[in-house]
Amino acid sequence: MEKNKKKGWKKALHIVKITVVSLIALVALVLAGSFTAHKLSLASEGKRIKAYGQKMPVFDSQMNVKIDGQGKQTIVLLTGFGTAAPALDFTPMIEELKKDYQVVTIEPFGYGLSGQTERARTSDNMVAEIQSVVEQLNLETYILMGHSISGIYSLNYANTYPDEVKAFVGIDSSTSHQAWPGVDDSLIKFASNSGLLRLVTKVSPPDSSYLDQETAEQMRMLTMKNSGNETVSRELSELGNSFELANSQRFPKTTPVLLFVAISEETRPDWVKLHEDTVAGLNHGKVIELPGDHYLHHTQAPKMAEELQVFLKE
């Protein structure tokens, strides 16, 4: 009886071992296939990505800059963190703004069609890189409009070049006193490099209803190309220091600041107050709440363009 029990346990254990080994082999096979398919797709998609904007030499690499509109006033558009192709992502906003302004969309290193860089991704370096583009375009004064993390970089920029920045407009922008918990992007990098991100986006594609079909496809290919790249990863690692610097800064009192704040079920309880605190004490500061998610420029571009004109006339 005991011998039979032992034989039974050994047989069950053997089956478990075979099952585990088989599952590991299956996962390895899927990952290998996913990785190979991803690399082949990247090579194919690289030939189909269409150029837009112009390349400009900036320090050790090149930045892609897209210019739209011919208005007398210039708006410099700055992206949120990790947006694969800012000049495409901002399309609805650009379409509205270019009617009245010259719109300069800067794609930072590691974004869109810009190159990679060896430079540290500090807030000061981000500011210097934006300034390099501005100087090459001979822009003497301009309005900064920034989404998300660009609120932090714009704060530093406005303090560094106060005579050049005519105003700052935030699109659900980060604030100097919000807590930064830190983010480990190792899983994102693994998903990107292994091809799993490609599989996930096929099963559950991101919303691209704000773009036409051709632009949405370009955005998809650039997302596959840029996700998890080393330059953006180093920027993420540096964000804790960028927020620490911002914590000691405020916008110059004479700089007009207009902040659009996204309101939805996911909005953190103190989000509006953080923005109200940002404009408190300024000669000309305003907070406007708009329904929508973090990417307000996808859905609220006409309203924001309208409110900007009113704000600048006040």
State mean pLDDT over 199-209.
83
pLDDT band at 174 (very low <50, low <70, confident <90, very high): very high
What is residue 38's predicted lDDT score, i.e. its pLDDT? 60
Q: Residue 14's pLDDT is what?
A: 56
Q: Is the pLDDT of residue 74 over 90?
A: yes
Label residue 55 by pLDDT band (50, 70, 90): very high
Residue 236's pLDDT is 93
Residue 97: the pLDDT is 99
Q: What is the pLDDT of residue 184?
A: 74
Choose the most confident range, by mean pLDDT, from 25-29, 38-42, 53-57, 202-206. 53-57
pLDDT score for 25: 58
Task: Place 18 in a pLDDT band, splitting at 50, 70 and 90.
Answer: low
Domains of the chain (ranges; CATH) run 54-181+208-313 (3.40.50.1820)
Tens of pLDDT, residue by residue over 96-127, are 999 999 999 999 999 999 999 999 999 999 99
> Is pLDDT of 11 > 80?
no
Q: To the nearest whole percent, how much of the chain has pLDDT over 70?
A: 86
Residue 67 scores a pLDDT above 80? yes
- Both tokens of residue 212? 């036409």
